Chains A and B, each alone.
Chain A
Amino acid sequence: MKQSTETYVEPSQYPAGDFREPIAVIAPGHSYDSITGKLTGMVLTKHTPLAWFVVIGISFTLVMGLMMALTYLLAKGIGIWGNNIPVGWAFDIINFVWWIGIGHAGTLISAILLLFKQDWRTSINRFAEAMTLFAVACAAIFPIFHTGRPWLAAYWLFPYPNTMNLWPNFRSPLIWDVFAVSTYASVSAIFWFVGLIPDLATFRDRAEHPVLKRVYGMLALGWRGSAKHWYRYETAYLLLAGLSTPLVLSVHTVVSFDFAVAVLPGWHATIFPPYFVAGAIYAGFAMVLTLAIPLRALYGLHDFITMRHLENMAKVTLITGLVVVYGYGCEAFFGWYSGNEYERFMMKNRVYYGPYAWSYWALLLCNFIVPQMLWSKRLRRNLAVVFTVVMFVNVGMWLERFVIIVTSLHRDFLPSSWQMYYPTVWDFMTLFGTIGLFLTLMFVFVRILPMISIFEMRTLLPESRPHHPEGGSH
């Protein structure tokens, strides 16, 4: 396999010569064999990088912390957290919305960019989808465990026929959440798995260990690569992409209804659905970059995840970030323009009057000021800078939910009920525990499944194109 060097020259945006020739997505010099070999070799090898063990060691420790926190939660109740009256929701729902938001990039990349025929998505869609799935898994912990009686909430929120003759309250945004999130989780999982099938078959065929052969074989669902299989596969994948596309918009819209439907100043805002969706894509791309940059370095994937990919993602981050900042502006404007006593106080309290004003300014620093660095092409191509910026965005998006949830709740209508909220060690253990869970799942995924779609990468090769002198069939 030919290994490209870091000095390779990026193709021009405007290729000379044949304009039918699309821009190269991956580094030149690859063949079917080199791609398949590189991407399967990452998994079907006995050599695991030391860094992998380090990350898994840390993240799995955090998972153990999460297990402990949740066990203690079940034993004692929500009281182990800092939640109180008036701040009924705090870290639990902040984390939920944060993780759901992070999950959005996967579906956006795999579905919407697929439909828009953005072929550069191919290098990142697989692990972005996996990230979606794992983020949703982390998010799903909270709606169940944040309730006072999770053993009942786990199934009472679903509409099932029962002897009590009771249905859930379909007027409640939390019920909409249940449908939105469970649909999202199942469609994402199916989409991801369907996309994996041809690659699983490749693994089955290439694996040498009989157990691995069997496991991958079972997961490949009998894929044999016949023309009929491919025909059905492509149809199913396109249909699923179509199905996922509205979900990108709907899930966070519904999550934003949790707040927008309430009467609380700071929640009760019509801007929330688009603003939340933009925020989710923003957070999602930031997280994809957060994972892509180190993984690319760790596994030497420079040929597949090129600077163009990273730059494109940085651009999407910048643009969605600006949309989010526009949302902040709208919120402030609405607060003032409404002329409503409570709305105006809410903004004042959020920005300078209240004890949590620091969180608003930290949020603006993270989500508004720092990402402006991405305007510069030079900085955008400096991965250390990009990584730092997206870490700020990750923190900033968490703070955004903190500002919306805690700052709005702690001072609402009657001054007599105003109180402060202070998180406890269990709140932090749960937050960092889910981060650990996310990283654990992500790294296990990278170790046992192809983190980049092998068969789709192959289609990016020049010989795959119908007009290529050597191509037209494979």
Chain B
Amino acid sequence: MTLSDIRSRLDGLEGRTYWRSLEELADTAEFRDYVQREFPAQAGEFTDPAGRRQFLKLMGASLALAGVSACTRQPPEALVPYVRQPEELIPGRPLFFATAMPQGGVGMPLLAENHMGRPTKLEGNPEHPASLGATDVLSQASVLTLYDPDRSRTIASLGEIRTWSNFTAALQLAVGAQRTSGGAGLRILTEPISSPSLLDQIDTLKTNFPQAKWHQWDAVYGTVQGGAPGSLALYRFDRADVVVALDSDFLNSGGGSVRYSKDFSSRRRIGTPQQELNRLYAVEPVLSVTGANADHRLAMKAGEIHAFASGLAAAAGVPGTSGAASGEAGKWLRVLADDLKAHAGRSVVVAGDTQPAAVHALARAMNSALGNEGKTVHYTAPVIASPADGVASLADLVTEMNAGAVQLLLIVGTNPVFTAPADIDFRAALEKVPTRIHVGLYHDETAEHCHWHIPEAHYLESWGDVRAFDGTVSLIQPLIAPLYDGHSPIEVLAAINGTTGQSTMEIVKGYWTRAFGGQTKTTWTLRDASGGAYPNVDTFWRHALHDGFIASTSMLADGATIPAAPAAVAATSVPAVRGADAGQLEVVFRPDPYILDGRNANNGWLQELPKPLSKVTWDNVAYISPATASGMGIALSRAGNADQDLLEIEYQGRKARIPVWVMPGTADGVVVVHFGYGRKNAGRVGSGVGHDVFGLRSSATPWFGSGAKLTRTGEGYFVASTQNHFVMEGRHPVRVVDAEEYRADPKVVAEIGPERPADEESLYRRERGDHVTPTPFEYLSYRWGMAIDLNACTGCSACVIACVAENNIPVVGKTQVGRSREMHWLRVDTYFDGDPAAPSATYHQPVPCMQCEAAPCEPVCPVAATVHSDEGLNDMVYNRCVGTRYCSNNCPYKVRRFNFMLYADFTTPELMPQRNPDVTIRSRGVMEKCTYCVQRINSARIDSKTENRRVRDGEVQTACEQVCPADAIVFGDLNDPASRVVKLKEQQRNYGLLEDLGTRPRTTYLAKVRNPNKALA
């Protein structure tokens, strides 16, 4: 602004003009601005007309509109209903069909749950004497094998895909060449077989080809050391007061284990303190499930058991036997003999399958001498046909193969290339056979070396029959058409026999039609459940299929005619263990409890199921005792999963490597090697997992032998275990009392464990009975609860895998288990008592969600994803869960499981039909846990509502309860005073785990009551 500007302004004005400053006088925009502003030297003012109100209006409108556009258009999907609805098929409701699972030739009777044509879950057949409603681990997991995407899918010849007619044509050609020689070059190698229809086919084959030979090999079930026993022992543990197990795991292995667990536990599930318990003594080299349940257990080398049995027989008064022992074993001999004699006729001596025939003969002699035969044990002819010594049978076959005598070899089911004893080179011999045919579920090691491979139909997709451990015949009916072009062994043998154009069902039905008419080689008594004869064959067939078995064929049924057993082998006494052997390291072979000889290697459920007692997953390990381990400088304790020493075991000049596992209860100087791992082409799950130790197992000593050498390689190998602390730390999660103590003062159970403040000391108001609650809630409808009898639980882990199958629990793999992220909703904890090096007792404790009344997990969830239902369940709302894991941190039982990654398989189409449609599949980032099988509760509630009644006691069985062979788990309504669970909880053995925390668990435990013999104390 210059003076001339002002002048020019002033020039244009008239009259008197007042001005404040020269600039006003100039009246420029700049000057107006200058006057307007308070501090002209600083920044300008905010004069934008779009003010705060305008801004808020716009923001509000845009937010509202953003909400409008947030809906997703769902893709169109066509639903095609049935044109003709199949009879009995109601969508959403499963159907159950009776069938049976063959395992080692022995059948496990089952009821298969079928959802819209897909089998999803297997339960025990409640009517069948071998099951009584319960099942075992292997049958629970077998449904996953059915859907295994890695099962072989096509008939193959030398790697080329072929059709069934290609195969039968080639077969006729090969068989035709054998006809002239009477089948001199024809050999069949199978697993142990009890199937009447299949045996009938083999008989026909033998008639057609008199020179043909049938061999059987099974690394687990068909292998004996020191001769086969000759007769089959069927035990009645429900009648036995004293049981002596000589290296026998009758509670957890073999086809009878389910029934034996039922019978055995019936003598442990005491209702009152006065009730008598049975007493179990176990003598064994390695802690087995049976040994863990024993009242007294003696760890002894497997090779010394023969001498011990002999000594026991002598002490028990069996003529012609002799033997004595000193020290601990000597004391045992005296005490056991006294106890056995005191319970003559009510005791039983059980010899293990891995012990030689002589030990079985001694056991039989003792049972005879004690008058147990016919009472607690029956000796019968074996149910497995031709129970040849599998090792000898395989050795014969290999000799003939090497001699070039075998022209055509049919291998059914078994995998000898992988499992054959180390000194029998089956693979080399196999290459000398001109035509080799393999029938199996997988294209395994043996299939790789055969010309033809025929996919075997899974038992859930084929017809057949099988006998249970007690001889009861079960019919196998398919639940689904073969998924992958599978053919049953019956069909293959019928093809060799020239029976074409008949389906497997027709063959099986044909056999039983002839059996009904008495035209078969074996004479069958076919009666209905009440003993009446069937009017005609159709009624018989329908009933047998419906029931799943033919009751009159059981040898255990009261009044059943038991086939005469072969004469016992002479019970001979053996010399004491040779001096040279005494100081040597003994190697004991055991099949992996779940993978067996490797046949289940591709089953993720079984791989991930913690092995009983060691809780190792995904690997085989060598057990050694703590004393042996300290001698070798191997660390005894683990704070968590870590590298284990990799051992090299040298035996009979052969070597194998395997990680070590220090296992309390193992006999000193024994290394227990589990075989079955180390498969090379098992499939996506099992290939390359674990260590192959078949190289150590020779035909002479398939189960145990002396003279092994152990060396530490200095390398480490990571082993994933789900439990690393087996000491109770004085916290008494498992409460244990002696029977006498309990009888004298039943209140003793309540006094064990941490002090629990008396109710009158609580700040909270009292509810009824002995419970206190901050927020009393009246459960008007149902109040679900569970009781677990620790005295019955054997620790077999069937409940864990049943839970996996029922609740679609994912498999996470070794790495994740190694990081302690296994997903099992239910776990079986194991604790050792006494000296850690030589524990005096072993306890098992299944731990599902406790469904606490005052659940610590509930208040801490920020989004209320875990809440209490009006029936007392601690519900988990997956959709609401954001995965803070606070609930798990605050759970004193650590039963909650978190999807740290996407564990559920959403992509493999083969696995989708296996899932239980009633249970949500959980995605990543979500917490999950035991629901008390709420889907089963809901289903029963719906049924009861339509019938306008309450849910009956026993109508809802949780998966773990249903599978339990020992009836240790009981679920029911706590509002029903007559329910079994209320009765159990009224017992003075009842206690809540960590109840001193005030969580008031719904799941409670019945204390373990041991029945020790004072003379051994």
Q: B754 to chain A: which residues have CB within 8 Å? A: 340-342
Q: Contact between B864 and A226 (Cβ–Cβ < 8 Å)? A: no
- Report the bound CA distance from A213 to B639 in whole Å: 63
Out of A226, A263, A418, which one reaches B724, CB within 8 Å?
Answer: A418
Interface-lining segment among A20-28, A170-178, A442-450, A465-473: A170-178
Q: Contact between B898 and A85 (Cβ–Cβ < 8 Å)? A: yes
Out of A157, A168, A355, A419, which one reaches B641, CB within 8 Å?
Answer: A419
Q: Does A230 contact B (CB under 8 A)?
A: no
- Report the bound CA distance from A414 to B994 in whole Å: 9
- Given A148-B885, A149-B883, A150-B882, 20 more A-B residue pairs with CB atoms under 8 Å apart are A78-B901, A82-B819, A89-B885, A148-B883, A153-B863, A157-B862, A169-B862, A172-B859, A172-B860, A174-B862, A174-B886, A222-B43, A261-B859, A341-B731, A412-B892, A413-B997, A415-B729, A415-B831, A416-B726, A418-B639
**24 A-B contacts (beta carbon < 8 Å):** A78-B883, A79-B819, A79-B900, A85-B821, A89-B889, A148-B927, A149-B883, A149-B924, A153-B882, A156-B880, A172-B886, A205-B41, A224-B39, A226-B39, A262-B860, A262-B886, A412-B892, A413-B892, A413-B893, A414-B829, A416-B725, A417-B893, A419-B640, A420-B641
- Report the bound CA distance from A279 to B994 in whole Å: 33
Q: A82 to chain B: which residues have CB within 8 Å? A: 819
Q: A222 to chain B: which residues have CB within 8 Å? A: 43, 45-46
Instruction: Report A408 CB to chain B, min CB distance, Å.
Output: 9
Known: A412-B892, A413-B994. A149 touches B42 (CB 8 A): no
Out of B42, B888, B893, B897, which one reaches A225, CB within 8 Å?
Answer: B42
Q: B999 to chain A: which residues have CB within 8 Å? A: 263
Q: Does A345 contact B (CB under 8 A)?
A: yes
Q: Contact between A149 and B829 (Cβ–Cβ < 8 Å)? A: no
Chain A residues packing against B (C-beta within 8 Å): 76-80, 82-89, 146-150, 152-153, 156-157, 166-169, 171-175, 178, 201, 204-205, 213, 217, 220, 222, 224-226, 258, 261-264, 340-342, 345, 354-355, 409, 412-420, 422
Q: A80 to chain B: which residues have CB within 8 Å? A: 901
Q: Contact between A263 and B820 (Cβ–Cβ < 8 Å)? A: no
- Report the bound CA distance from A86 to B821 in whole Å: 9
Q: Contact between A420 and B639 (Cβ–Cβ < 8 Å)? A: yes
Instruction: Report B922 CB to chain A, min CB distance, Å.
Output: 10
Q: Contact between A220 and B863 (Cβ–Cβ < 8 Å)? A: no
Measured CB to CB, the nearest residue on chain A to B725 is: A415
Measured CB to CB, the nearest residue on chain B to A220 is: B43
Q: B46 to chain A: which residues have CB within 8 Å? A: 222
Chain B 890-944 residues near chain A, CB threshold 8 A: 890, 892-894, 896-902, 924-927
Q: Contact between B861 and A172 (Cβ–Cβ < 8 Å)? A: yes
Known: A86-B894, A355-B639, A409-B889. A156 touches B863 (CB 8 A): yes
Q: Contact between A77 and B641 (Cβ–Cβ < 8 Å)? A: no
Q: Contact between A149 and B881 (Cβ–Cβ < 8 Å)? A: yes
Known: A412-B894, A416-B725. A149 touches B863 (CB 8 A): no
- Among B728, B888, B899, the most chain A Cβ lie within 10 Å of the Cβ of B888
Instruction: Report B255 CB to chain A, min CB distance, Å.
Output: 31
Q: Does B583 contact A (CB under 8 A)?
A: no
Q: Is the interface of B mostly helix, strand, loop or mixed?
A: loop
Measured CB to CB, the nearest residue on chain A to B897 is: A85
Q: Contact between A420 and B882 (Cβ–Cβ < 8 Å)? A: no
Q: Is the interface of A mostly helix, strand, loop or mixed?
A: loop
- Report the bound CA distance from A416 to B733 in whole Å: 10
Q: Does B428 contact A (CB under 8 A)?
A: no
Out of A88, A149, A220, A415, which one reaches B889, CB within 8 Å?
Answer: A88
Number of residue pairs A-B, CB distance < 8 angstroms = 210
Q: Contact between B733 and A414 (Cβ–Cβ < 8 Å)? A: yes
Q: Contact between B860 and A147 (Cβ–Cβ < 8 Å)? A: no
Instruction: Report A397 CB to chain B, min CB distance, Å.
Output: 21
Instruction: Report B863 CB to chain A, min CB distance, Å.
Output: 5
Q: B830 to chain A: which residues have CB within 8 Å? A: 416
Q: B863 to chain A: which residues have CB within 8 Å? A: 153, 156-157, 166, 168-169
- Report the bound CA distance from A169 to B830 in whole Å: 37
- Report the bound CA distance from A88 to B728 in whole Å: 23
Q: Contact between B724 and A419 (Cβ–Cβ < 8 Å)? A: yes
Q: Contact between B42 and A79 (Cβ–Cβ < 8 Å)? A: no
- Report the bound CA distance from A216 to B899 in whole Å: 49
Q: Contact between A152 and B861 (Cβ–Cβ < 8 Å)? A: no
Q: Contact between B859 and A149 (Cβ–Cβ < 8 Å)? A: no
Known: A79-B821, A420-B639. A148 touches B862 (CB 8 A): no
Known: A263-B997, A419-B641. A149 touches B926 (CB 8 A): yes
Known: A77-B925, A156-B863. A86 touches B888 (CB 8 A): yes
Interface size class on chain B is: 35 or more
Known: A201-B42, A416-B725, A419-B641. A262 touches B890 (CB 8 A): yes
- Among A76, A78, A157, A168, the most chain B Cβ lie within 10 Å of the Cβ of A78
Q: Contact between A148 and B894 (Cβ–Cβ < 8 Å)? A: no
Q: Contact between B883 and A147 (Cβ–Cβ < 8 Å)? A: yes
Q: A345 to chain B: which residues have CB within 8 Å? A: 729
Out of A157, A224, A354, A412, which one reaches B38, CB within 8 Å?
Answer: A224
Instruction: Report A322 CB to chain B, min CB distance, Å.
Output: 30
Instruction: Report A158 CB to chain B, min CB distance, Å.
Output: 10
Q: Contact between B896 and A77 (Cβ–Cβ < 8 Å)? A: no
- Among A85, A262, A340, the most chain B Cβ lie within 10 Å of the Cβ of A85
Chain B 91-114 residues near chain A, CB threshold 8 A: none
- Report the bound CA distance from A76 to B925 in whole Å: 10
Q: B816 to chain A: which residues have CB within 8 Å? A: 79
Instruction: Report A410 CB to chain B, min CB distance, Å.
Output: 8
Q: Contact between B899 and A262 (Cβ–Cβ < 8 Å)? A: no
Across chains A and B, which 3 residue pairs bring their CB atoms closest together, nearest first? A148-B883, A148-B925, A420-B640
Q: Does B856 contact A (CB under 8 A)?
A: yes
- Report the bound CA distance from A153 to B862 in whole Å: 9
Q: Contact between A416 and B829 (Cβ–Cβ < 8 Å)? A: yes
Q: A87 to chain B: which residues have CB within 8 Å? A: 820
Measured CB to CB, the nearest residue on chain B to A146 is: B884
Q: Contact between A153 and B892 (Cβ–Cβ < 8 Å)? A: no
Measured CB to CB, the nearest residue on chain B to A167 is: B864
Q: Contact between B862 and A172 (Cβ–Cβ < 8 Å)? A: yes
Q: Contact between A83 and B39 (Cβ–Cβ < 8 Å)? A: no
Known: A84-B900, A413-B994. A153 touches B894 (CB 8 A): no
Chain B 675-734 residues near chain A, CB threshold 8 A: 723-731, 733
Q: Contact between A148 and B43 (Cβ–Cβ < 8 Å)? A: no
Q: A150 to chain B: which residues have CB within 8 Å? A: 882
- Report the bound CA distance from A80 to B847 in whole Å: 28
- Report the bound CA distance from A408 to B500 in whole Å: 70
Q: Contact between B885 and A88 (Cβ–Cβ < 8 Å)? A: yes
Measured CB to CB, the nearest residue on chain A to B39 is: A224
Q: A422 to chain B: which residues have CB within 8 Å? A: 819
Q: B898 to chain A: which residues have CB within 8 Å? A: 78, 85, 88, 148
Out of A157, A204, A217, A258, which one reaches B882, CB within 8 Å?
Answer: A157
Instruction: Report A110 CB to chain B, min CB distance, Å.
Output: 26
Known: A148-B885, A153-B884, A226-B39. A178 touches B862 (CB 8 A): yes
Q: B993 to chain A: which residues have CB within 8 Å? A: 414
- Report the bound CA distance from A409 to B886 in whole Å: 11
Measured CB to CB, the nearest residue on chain A to B822 is: A85
- Report the bound CA distance from A172 to B865 in whole Å: 11
- Report the bound CA distance from A358 to B592 in whole Å: 39
Known: A205-B43, A263-B892. A415 touches B883 (CB 8 A): no
- Report the bound CA distance from A147 to B898 in whole Å: 11
Q: Contact between A415 and B43 (Cβ–Cβ < 8 Å)? A: no
Q: Contact between A224 and B862 (Cβ–Cβ < 8 Å)? A: no
Known: A174-B860, A174-B884. A263 touches B890 (CB 8 A): yes
Instruction: Report B886 CB to chain A, min CB distance, Å.
Output: 6
- Report the bound CA distance from A152 to B727 in whole Å: 41
Q: Contact between A413 and B725 (Cβ–Cβ < 8 Å)? A: no
Out of B819, B862, B883, B894, which one reaches A175, CB within 8 Å?
Answer: B862
Q: Contact between A84 and B43 (Cβ–Cβ < 8 Å)? A: no
Q: A226 to chain B: which residues have CB within 8 Å? A: 38-39
Q: A156 to chain B: which residues have CB within 8 Å? A: 863, 880, 882
Q: Contact between B731 and A413 (Cβ–Cβ < 8 Å)? A: yes
